[in-house]
Structure 1
């Protein structure tokens, strides 16, 4: 649990979102559900550029993906994570993509091996559809 920072002027553009304001809570919740990220009693609320998420995630991995699905949307600067986790596990690191980055470059910096780019890609599915489709400002999970 905690507050996670995102870059509010980049990300998935949902209906009703702008750089000044996040999308309505129901649109962000639909984005989370679209990715098949299931949480018991998932509740999403929005206040300005902050999204608050409550409920219970089945695993820490799903919790982190819910945070990323909500935070990587246009207009969201912070995600207040209040999710409980049914089966706690190790936390992954979050990494903000910079201009010129690709998954191989990130893997080299994080793991010392560019060939581990697929570990990062797999850790960010279903939000990532292709390893080459990342953008500056996007936040990714970097598993341990």
Structure 2
């Protein structure tokens, strides 16, 4: 897939990333902790990636491993990239089962899943397709944040 760009200061500040250098003296330890927590979260969410390895260098994360399918691969990239402090993700994962790649959409102020579904599918009531494609990263169809990147599956 390659290199993906994200809004660095969008997303939850759950791993301590995104803090200014003055707020955290030991940035190497912070990156190690964030890496470990991201890897644990990916496993806890049952996103199956063999030999998962994440490396954070400044505001870029590199992810390696073998995902079970394209959907899992994309969800892992989005989980990492939608974390505050991460501006880009270098996806170096492979997949067991190839599938078509999804499109990606960056949420803007005022967006809802219904509005996004109308834009991509022509029907606002198709929003569950987008919600389901972003589980377990999205926990509610009503909880979007500006700058968040979502998977938009393409159906033929």
Could you tell me the TM-score, scaled by structure 1's length? 0.94
Q: Report the secondary structure of 2:92's partner residue.
A: strand
Q: Give the whole-Å Cα distance in 1 for the aligned partners of 2:40 and 2:7.
A: 21
- The answer for the alignment partner of 1:5 in structure 2 is 5
- The answer for the alignment partner of 2:27 in structure 1 is none
Aligned residue among 15, 37, 45 for 2:55: 45
Query: When you count helix as a share of all residues, which structure comes out higher?
Result: 2
- Structure-to-structure mapping, 1:1-144, within 5 angstroms: 1-20=1-20, 23=31, 24-144=34-154
Instruction: Could you tell me which runs of 5 or more consecutive residues in structure 2 were left unpaired when the two chains were aligned.
Output: 22-29
Q: Report the secondary structure of 2:47's partner residue.
A: coil
Q: Give the whole-Å Cα distance in 2 for the aligned partners of 1:7 and 1:71.
A: 8
Of 50-59 and 12-21, deviating more is 12-21
Instruction: Could you tell me which runs of 5 or more consecutive residues in structure 1 were left unpaired when the two chains were aligned.
Output: none
Q: What is the alpha-carbon root mean square deviation over aligned residues?
A: 1.5
Q: Give the whole-Å Cα distance in 2 for the aligned partners of 1:48 and 1:137.
A: 19
Q: Which is higher, the Rg of structure 1 or of structure 2?
A: 2
Q: Give the whole-Å Cα distance in 1 for the aligned partners of 2:61 and 2:79.
A: 11
Offset of 1:114 from its aligned partner? 0.5
Offset of 1:31 from its aligned partner? 2.6
Q: Give the whole-Å Cα distance in 2 for the aligned partners of 1:90 and 1:80.
A: 19
**Are the aligned partners of 2:18 and 2:86 in contact in 1 as well (CA < 8 Å)?**
no
User: Structure 1 residues 19 and 4 mapped into 2: Cα distance closer, same or farther (>3 Å)?
Assistant: farther
Q: Report the secondary structure of 1:117's partner residue.
A: helix
Could you tell me the TM-score, scaled by structure 2's length? 0.87
